[in-house]
Amino acid sequence: MFDLLIKNARTITGEKVEVAVTAGKIVEVAPEITAEATEVLTLADGQYLSAGWIDDHVHCFEEMELYYDYPDEIGVEKGVTTVIDAGTTGAENVGIFYKYAVAAKTNVYALVNISKTGIVEQDELADLSKVRADLITKALKEYPDFIIGIKARMSKTVIGDNGMQPLILAKEIQKENADLPLMVHIGSNPPELVDILTTMTAGDVLTHCFNGKPNGILDQATDKIKDFVWEAYDKGVVFDIGHGTDSFNFHVAEVALAEGMKAHSISTDIYIRNRTNGPVYDLATTLEKLHLIGYSWEEIIEKITEVPAEKFNLTTKGRLAAGFDGDFTIFELAQGEKVLTDSNGNQRTTKELIQPVKAIIGGKVYDC
């Protein structure tokens, strides 16, 4: 007797699949399962099932004023079963965030900002006395299942006159703490992107990878991806979308794709303002933008399930396989017409939509 049996599903690759869940974990995945279950969920014809969607760059600590949101409003209600808050909090306030996070239906994890205050002010790394490795190590010991990495925001308004120093400190903190995942945000210079990418190493996550700024990956004079960006990509730096208010440009993404460079993971950098007023709205809308420029739905689903789970060491998430967590997203692909706007106000119209209809978290079913 299973707790939950999901019937009549198909994966994004078109295979028929049924899944049994007990005690919050997947216990069986097969083309057909005939057994008793406390709850049987039969999908409508044409609905798809994937592992639960993971958005690896969000801001959802509601006590902040600058960037804040509510985990379930950007998570379960939008078909996203797991969110990773990217540096909203630092070692000083991550414990308060944890109390809200555990109360959410959505799975919430944190990348702790290397500045002990998090993003209380826009320039959290302008004063390097706020970077306290000792406090980060202590927070990691206190919240080992919640803090899954560190975040450094490396752009002009954040770092003041500190140049590359915040990233150098972040790399030291990473080394001292078992090679924790490190996410680096990029934007306006200084610091120069070339210096950031030279300092980052394989497995480090570069978020806002397709921003349209002069200090981005595109050489605006030649309309080509900069050589040093290709070197970083080839050495294993992870390219993450981090759409955000300012950081996704259709043209940059298209030039990269034409040259053979794809984002590894897809994320929103969502918070209440870019959710309510756009251009982000939700993860599905970001997925539609990537599909519109040429990513297949199959690879898009990988980039919000398997890939982020692997990059952030969420070893029980991201796959439809026995032993993994009972987190799923049920969605439909529909025809329609929708205007999509990037962070620079460029608009494109898509006819192919992706619409989450249910999110299942630890075997519990929620409508989106």
Closer of 271 and 297 to Zn ion (Cβ): 271
Q: 272-277 contacts: CB < 8 A, separation 24 or more?
A: 272/68, 272/69, 272/70, 273/245, 274/244, 274/245, 275/69, 275/73, 275/74
Q: Closest approach of Cβ 59 to Zn ion, in Å?
A: 6
Residue closer to Zn ion by CB (options 86, 314) is 86
Interface positions, 121-140, toward Zn ion (CB under 5 A): none
* Mode of pairing for the β-strands spanning 25-30 and 16-22: antiparallel
User: Please, what is the minimum distance in Å from the beta carbon of residue 244 to Zn ion?
Assistant: 6
Q: With contact defined as beta carbons under 8 Å apart, do 273 and 245 qualify? A: yes
Strands 218-219 and 224-225: antiparallel
Decide whether 86 or 361 has the Cβ nearer to Zn ion: 86
DSSP letter at 237 equals P
> Smallest distance, Å, CB 194 to Zn ion?
22
Comparing CB distances to Zn ion, the nearer of 208 and 264 is: 208
DSSP-assigned letter for residue 115: B
CA 131 to CA 104: how far, in whole Å?
A: 29
Q: How does strand 37-42 pair with strand 2-10?
A: parallel
Q: How far is the CB of 313 from Zn ion (least distance, A)?
A: 20
Q: Which amino acid is at 290?
A: L
CB closer to Zn ion, 151 vs 317: 151
Q: Toward Zn ion, which CB reaches closer, 69 or 269? A: 269
Question: Closer CB to Zn ion, residue 271 or residue 331?
Answer: 271
Binding mask 257-296 for Zn ion (x = CB under 5 A): ------------x---------------------------
Q: Is 253 within 8 Å of 347 (Cβ atoms)?
A: no
What is the distance of C-alpha 167 from the center of its chain?
A: 21
DSSP 8-state class, residue 155: S
Closest-by-Cβ residue to Zn ion is 269
Residue with tokens 């006590």: 63
Q: State in angstroms the smallest separation of the CB of 153 from Zn ion.
A: 8
Strands 182-186, 147-154: pairing kind: parallel
Q: How far is the CB of 328 from Zn ion (least distance, A)?
A: 26
Shortest separation between residue 57's beta carbon and Zn ion, angstroms = 6
Question: Considering beta carbons, is residue 304 or 320 the nearer one to Zn ion?
Answer: 304
Is 77 among the residues that bind Zn ion (CB under 5 A)?
no
Site string for Zn ion, 78-97 (x = CB under 5 A): --------x-----------
Size of the site for Zn ion (CB under 5 A): 2
* Cα three-residue angle 199-87-299, rounded to 5 degrees: 75
CB nearer to Zn ion: pick between 115 and 350: 115
Q: Which amino acid is at 116?
A: K
Nearer to Zn ion, 184 or 292 (CB): 184
CA proximity to 25, closest of 52, 47, 49: 52
Token code pair at residue 355: 């619409």
Measured distance CA(218)–CA(193) in Å, rounded = 11
* Smallest separation, CB 60 to Zn ion (Å): 11
- The distance of closest approach from Cβ of residue 279 to Zn ion in the complex, given in angstroms and rounded to an integer, is 14
- The CB-of-119 to Zn ion minimum distance in angstroms stands at 8
Tokens of residue 200, six digits: 């980052």
Burial of 265 from C-beta contacts in 10 A (0-12 / 13-18 / 19+): buried
Binding site for Zn ion (CB under 5 A): 86, 269
